[in-house]
Amino acid sequence: MLVGKKHFRTIWRDKDRPVLHIIDQRHLPHNFVIEELHSVADVATAIKDMHVRGAGVIGVTAAYGMYLAALALPEKDMDDDLFSAADLLKATRPTAVNLAWAVDRQLEALRKGKSREKKIEIALQTAEEIINEDLDCCRKIGSHGMAIIDEISRKKNGAPVNILTHCNAGWLGFADYGTATAPIYLAAENGAALHVWVDETRPRNQGASLTAWELGEQGISHTVIPDNTGGHLMQHGMVDMVIVGTDRTTRRGDVANKIGTYLKALAARDNNIPFYVALPSSSIDWNIGDGVGEIPIEERDAREVRYIIGLDESDQKVKEVLITPKDSKAANYGFDVTPARLVTGLITERGICEASEEGIFSLFPEKHDQK
Q: How far is the CB of 244 from ligand MRU (least distance, A)?
A: 6
Residue 54 lies near ligand MRU (rule: CB under 6 A):
yes
The β-bridge relationship of strands 241-244 and 161-165 is: parallel
Q: Figure out which of the listed residues 70, 148, 169, 241 binds ligand MRU, where binding follows CB under 6 A.
A: 169
Under a CB-based contact definition with an 8 Å cutoff, are residues 82 and 201 in contact? no
Q: Figure out which of the listed residues 11, 46, 55, 353 binds ligand MRU, where binding follows CB under 6 A.
A: 55
Residue 176 lies near ligand MRU (rule: CB under 6 A):
no
Residue 126 lies near ligand MRU (rule: CB under 6 A):
no
Q: Figure out which of the listed residues 53, 105, 264, 306 binds ligand MRU, where binding follows CB under 6 A.
A: 53
Q: How far is the CB of 284 from ligand MRU (least distance, A)?
A: 13
Candidates 168-176, 233-241, 289-297, 347-355: pick the segment binding ligand MRU (CB under 6 A). 168-176
Q: How far is the CB of 80 from ligand MRU (least distance, A)?
A: 30
At a CB cut-off of 8 Å and minimum separation 6, what does 25 contact? 10, 50, 51, 52, 53, 172, 210
Q: How far is the CB of 165 from ligand MRU (least distance, A)?
A: 8
Residue 247 lies near ligand MRU (rule: CB under 6 A):
yes
- Pick the catalytic residue from 24, 199, 247, 254: 247
Nearer to ligand MRU, 91 or 159 (CB): 91
Q: Figure out which of the listed residues 230, 245, 291, 345 binds ligand MRU, where binding follows CB under 6 A.
A: 245
Candidates 10-18, 238-246, 285-293, 304-312: pick the segment binding ligand MRU (CB under 6 A). 238-246
Helix (H, G, I), strand (E, B) or coil at 322: strand
Q: How far is the CB of 205 from ligand MRU (least distance, A)?
A: 10
- Please tell me the distance from the alpha carbon of residue 239 to that of residue 197, in angstroms, as a whole number: 8
Full 3-state SS string of 82-135: HHHHHHHHHCCCCCCHHHHHHHHHHHHHHCCCCCHHHHHHHHHHHHHHHHHHHH
Residue 246 lies near ligand MRU (rule: CB under 6 A):
yes
Instruction: Determine the size of the site formed for ligand MRU (CB under 6 A).
Output: 16
Under a CB-based contact definition with an 8 Å cutoff, are residues 11 and 57 in contact? yes
Nearest CA to 301 out of 260, 333, 336 is that of: 333
Q: Figure out which of the listed residues 60, 146, 167, 241 binds ligand MRU, where binding follows CB under 6 A.
A: 167
Phi, psi of 75, deg, nearest 5:
-75, -30
Type of residue found at 266: L
Residue 181 lies near ligand MRU (rule: CB under 6 A):
no
- Please tell me the distance from the alpha carbon of residue 356 to that of residue 339, in angstroms, as a whole number: 10
Residue 334 lies near ligand MRU (rule: CB under 6 A):
yes
- Please tell me the distance from the alpha carbon of residue 279 to that of residue 138, in angstroms, as a whole number: 8
Q: Is 79 a catalytic residue?
A: no
Nearest CA to 236 out of 252, 225, 251, 220 is that of: 225
Residue 343 lies near ligand MRU (rule: CB under 6 A):
no
Q: Figure out which of the listed residues 173, 230, 260, 339 binds ligand MRU, where binding follows CB under 6 A.
A: 173
Candidates 26-34, 119-127, 232-240, 245-253: pick the segment binding ligand MRU (CB under 6 A). 245-253
Helices 78-90, 40-48: axis angle to 10 degrees equals 10
274 burial (CB, 10 Å; 0-12 / 13-18 / 19+) is: middle
Binders of ligand MRU in range 257-276 (CB under 6 A): 257-258
Cα dihedral 355, 359, 361, 362, rounded to 10, equals -150
Q: Figure out which of the listed residues 182, 244, 353, 355 binds ligand MRU, where binding follows CB under 6 A.
A: 244
Catalytic residues: 247
Interaction site with ligand MRU (CB under 6 A): 53-56, 167-169, 173, 206, 244-247, 257-258, 334
